[in-house]
Amino acid sequence: MHDFVNLDESADTVLRLVDLFERYGVRGDFYLTAPMVALYAERRPEVVERLKKSAMTISYHVRPPHPLIAGFDAPLRGLEGDALAEALRDYEIYRLDLETGKLLRDEPGGYTYVRDVFGRPPVVASVPSVLYHDAALRAYAELGAKMTVIYHETGTKLDRPFEYAGGLLIRPSDWSVTRWAAGGSSKEQFWWAMLDTPLAEAYNPTRYLKERLGGWSGERPPFVTALIHEDNFYRKGATPWALIYYEDPEKGGPRTPPFDLEAPDPSRPRSAENREAIWTAYEELVAYAAGNLDVVTSEDIVDRAAQTTAGSSSAKGD
């Protein structure tokens, strides 16, 4: 979740997703930024309440102008050791001003704000910037995170699905139902971007999932992720906030503060027909997974990794 430009559509999408997952008896993993949680709390409080009362997993990520995003790290440059650790913690304790990029030290924000709003630590905390990777992972581990993202869609070792970095479990993913090449093209496309094209059937996510599962030859079941941003359900093209923080819609050339929060939205609305086609395909994917696979979130995977580690230790002791 990251679309603060179209907040009502974002909020409506979250509510519909929770309903969808509950209808099929599975949990979804909701990755929230602190500014999005604050905006939901201020303008759409029913979203926060719905998530709090549900069994959904809460995770955390960051977006500009957070200094862990490349190009926005001026507040961290030149810092090392304790000074860097303190600066990183501040960004996870105080509220980030989306216009100035500065901290509002009289208001809560960051990871700890999301934790306190939902009454439980977000399971995943990702660190986009390699420059501050180690220090940030330690900070998130101290604040209560259990998992991080090193690779989004593929990268898990067949013989070692559970690995750690900075005290956090690396989110495993052998492959993803997110984007692939089809129809004679070598270029990968996001499935939701192709449902209003002649190649719609080739980009049906459930069909792709079945095909990949049929070709799996590993000695263990695969970890399969299904990633989508909330705005992908109702907007197309660029990210809605791209021109607020970047010089062009493709996020080239970070801007400097103050940022124009009224900058044009470079994305375009999807037609009602296209929206429902995406929802129909997504529900089909959820239904198939719920009926045939073991649907897990990061919270479940952390528990299984701990059980595996405990079992291995016990076996070695025997």
* Average pLDDT estimate for 124-144: 95
* Domain ranges for the chain: 7-317
Q: Which fold has domain 7-317?
A: TIM Barrel (3.20.20)
pLDDT at 309 over 90: no
**pLDDT score for 246:** 98
Distance (Å, whole) CA 114 – CA 120: 8
Would you state the structure tokens that stand for residue 79, as one six-digit string?
């810092």
d(CA 282, CA 190): 13
Rounded Cα gap, residues 195 and 145, in angstroms:
36
Tens digits of residue pLDDT in 215-224: 999 999 999 9
Cα(68)–Cα(132) distance, rounded to whole angstroms? 7
Cα separation, 237 vs 264, whole angstroms: 13
pLDDT (tens digit per residue) in 60-109:
999 999 999 999 999 999 999 999 999 999 999 999 999 999 999 999 99
Entry pTM: 0.95
Render pLDDT for 136-177 as a digit per residue (tens, 0 to 9).
999 999 999 999 999 989 999 999 999 999 999 999 999 999
User: What sign does the CA torsion over 288, 290, 292, 294 have?
Assistant: positive
Q: Are strands 57-60 and 29-32 parallel, antiparallel or unpaired?
A: parallel
59 touches 66 (CB < 8 A): no
Residue 161: asked if its preceding bond is cis (omega within 30°), the reply is no
